[in-house]
């Protein structure tokens, strides 16, 4: 890995998709007693997650968390965190250490929402897929002097190469567009049948429009709803690339050091959905990424306009239905194809390693303006040189023209001779 000094350069600042003010204002450590933390996880029952656990808890599935790193010592994540990688140049090489000057706990919170194990059968925080594994990939977030775009592209490829079937990205570029390096990385994920889950971002933290990676075709973009299942104003953003909606208010997650944090935002909604994706993949190992995503959106409950709208996407998530309902197989990802988008909107790039055979062009002087080899008589001889180098077609035209001219001269002279004979 490159050190931070080598990696520092001006680039796009990647932000976490969480309203910071909400975390700082109400995010003091929550005192846990008995089942208070588990009881606070209202989404487990209300969104069908507990019911889905009667089929599977996500065993055998790996969820890559591209974020600020994961504290693997947290009791609620014991046995759930695989050795990952650090792309920031500042953390543990396994991704087991929170990185960043601010919000370093973000990655641990996200991981706990996806695959927390709890501290016991009814104690501590449990994720949507408690049988799944977390692959932590730490990157730098929120630093304009660091090339986070490159770190993310490298992390996506690493996740694919190290067995992740799901990638969670609770972050935003805060722009609709994305760098071409993401074209390659996300295409690589799609080609290897990996589902990418991305947070839509939050209006409360300045993301008024959904930003990349949540704008990329093929990505499962997650918007947020409140306790009543209504689209959240501050703890979500809206846009035409939203696929699904999940709880983003009144959340609680496990933080580094073994404490808990109350928080809000699509940073928490996304890993809930990533965990449900893991449940679907475990229950239906024969399905490709397109059909896994289709099960998620096809079984959602409409809350806005029938079929689709930019607030809820295809609806509010239902984990039990996504795992167990009868859903017809589809041939294409309902969230689109990145490969098709690239073919239409990216200009063709010529491989510099493939060079065409050079064609040697010998410059020819302009016969009407430049001197020829005939010296001072060049301009006089130029028309003759032009005829000499002309093709057969040109010569035929010239000959025909000369013939017409000769016939005209003959006719004029004959007429003149007739006048004189009178």
Per CATH, the homologous superfamily of domain 4-345 is Peptidase S8/S53 domain (3.40.50.200)
Q: How far is CA 117 from the centre of its chain?
A: 29
SS (H, E, C) the chain: CCCHHHHECCCCCCEECCCHHHHHHHCCCCCCCCCHHHHHCCHHHHCCHHHHCCCCCCCCCEEEEEECCCCCCCHHHCCCECCCEECCCCCCCCCCCCCCCCCCCHHHHHHHHHHCECCECCECCECCCCCCEEEEEECCCCCCCECHHHHHHHHHHHHHHCCCCEEEECEECCCCCCCHHHHHHHHHHHHCCCEEEEECCCHHHCCCCCCCCCCCCCCEEEEEECCCCCECCCCCCCCCCCCEEEECCCEEEEECCCEEEEECCHHHHHHHHHHHHHHHHHHCCCCCHHHHHHHHHHCCECCCCCCCECCCECCECCHHHHHHCCCCCCCCCCCCCHHHHHHHHCCCCCCCCCCCCCCCCCCCCCCCCCCCCCHHHHHHHHHHHHHHHCCHHHHHHHHHHHHHHHHHHHHHHHHHHHHHHC
pTM, two decimals, is 0.78
Q: Please indicate whether residue 106 is annotated as part of the active site.
A: yes
Residue 112, pLDDT score: 98
Residue 199, pLDDT score: 97
8 pLDDT higher than 60: no
Exactly one of 170, 248, 267, 324 is catalytic; name it: 267
Q: Please indicate whether residue 67 is annotated as part of the active site.
A: yes
What percent of the chain lies above the pLDDT cut of 90? 66
Residue 134, pLDDT score: 98
Exposed/middle/buried for 236, CB within 10 Å: 0-12, 13-18, 19+?
A: buried
pLDDT tens digits, 322-376: 999 999 999 999 999 999 999 999 977 555 565 544 444 443 333 333 333 333 3
**Which residues contact residue 18 at a Cβ distance below 8 angstroms, ignoring those fewer than 6 apart?**
103, 106, 170, 202, 205, 263, 264, 265, 266, 267, 268
* Distance of alpha carbon 302 from alpha carbon 315, whole angstroms: 4
Residue 352, pLDDT score: 57
Half-sphere exposure of 69 (CA within 13 A, CB side): 27
Residue 66, pLDDT score: 98
* Distance of alpha carbon 399 from alpha carbon 404, whole angstroms: 9
Banded model confidence at residue 321, pLDDT cuts 50, 70, 90: very high
Banded model confidence at residue 22, pLDDT cuts 50, 70, 90: very low
Residue 18, pLDDT score: 54
Question: Do strands 133-138 and 85-86 pair parallel, antiparallel, or not at all (unpaired)?
Answer: parallel
Exactly one of 106, 149, 264, 324 is catalytic; name it: 106
Q: Mean pLDDT throughout 272-292? A: 98
Q: Please indicate whether residue 267 is annotated as part of the active site.
A: yes
2 pLDDT higher than 50: no
Mean pLDDT of the chain: 82
**Which residues contact residue 397 at a Cβ distance below 8 angstroms, ignoring those fewer than 6 apart?**
none
Banded model confidence at residue 13, pLDDT cuts 50, 70, 90: low
């Amino acid at each position: 890995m490159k050190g931070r000094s080598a990696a520092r350069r001006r680039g796009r600042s990647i932000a976490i998709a969480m309203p910071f003010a909400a975390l700082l204002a109400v995010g003091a450590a929550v005192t846990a007693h008995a089942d208070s933390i588990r009881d606070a996880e209202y989404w487990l029952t209300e969104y069908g997650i507990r019911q889905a656990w009667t089929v599977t808890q996500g065993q055998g599935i790996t969820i890559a968390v591209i974020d600020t790193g994961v504290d693997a010592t947290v009791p609620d994540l014991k046995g759930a965190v695989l050795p990952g990688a650090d792309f920031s140049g500042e953390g543990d090489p396994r991704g087991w250490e929170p990185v960043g000057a601010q919000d370093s706990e973000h990655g641990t919170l996200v991981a706990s929402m996806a695959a927390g194990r709890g501290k016991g059968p009814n104690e501590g925080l449990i994720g949507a897929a408690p049988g799944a594994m977390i692959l932590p990939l730490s990157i730098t977030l929120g630093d304009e002097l660091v090339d986070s775009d490159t770190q993310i592209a490298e992390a996506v490829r690493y996740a694919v190469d190290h067995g992740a079937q799901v990638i969670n990205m609770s972050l935003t570029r805060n722009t609709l567009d994305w760098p071409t390096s993401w074209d390659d990385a996300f295409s690589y994920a799609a080609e290897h049948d990996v589902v990418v889950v991305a947070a839509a971002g939050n209006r409360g933290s300045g993301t008024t429009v959904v930003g990349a990676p949540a704008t990329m075709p093929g990505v499962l973009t997650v918007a947020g709803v409140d306790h009543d299942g209504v689209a959240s104003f501050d703890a979500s953003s809206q846009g035409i690339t939203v696929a699904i909606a999940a709880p983003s208010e009144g959340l609680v997650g496990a933080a580094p050091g073994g404490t808990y944090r109350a928080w809000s935002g699509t940073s928490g909604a996304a890993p809930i959905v990533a965990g449900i994706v893991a449940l679907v993949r475990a229950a239906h190992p024969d399905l490709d990424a397109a059909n896994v995503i289709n099960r998620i959106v096809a079984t959602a409950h409409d809350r806005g306009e029938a079929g689709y709208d930019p607030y809820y996407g295809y609806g509010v998530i239902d984990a039990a239905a996504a795992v167990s309902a009868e859903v017809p197989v589809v041939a294409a990802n309902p969230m689109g194809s990145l490969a098709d988008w690239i073919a239409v909107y990216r200009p063709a790039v010529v491989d510099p390693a493939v060079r065409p055979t050079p064609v040697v062009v010998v410059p020819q002087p302009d016969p009407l303006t430049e001197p020829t080899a005939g010296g001072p008589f060049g301009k006089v001889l130029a028309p003759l040189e032009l005829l000499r180098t002309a093709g057969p077609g040109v010569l035929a035209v010239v000959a025909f023209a000369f013939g017409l001219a000769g016939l005209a001269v003959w006719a004029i002279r004959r007429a003149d001779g007739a006048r004189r004979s009178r």
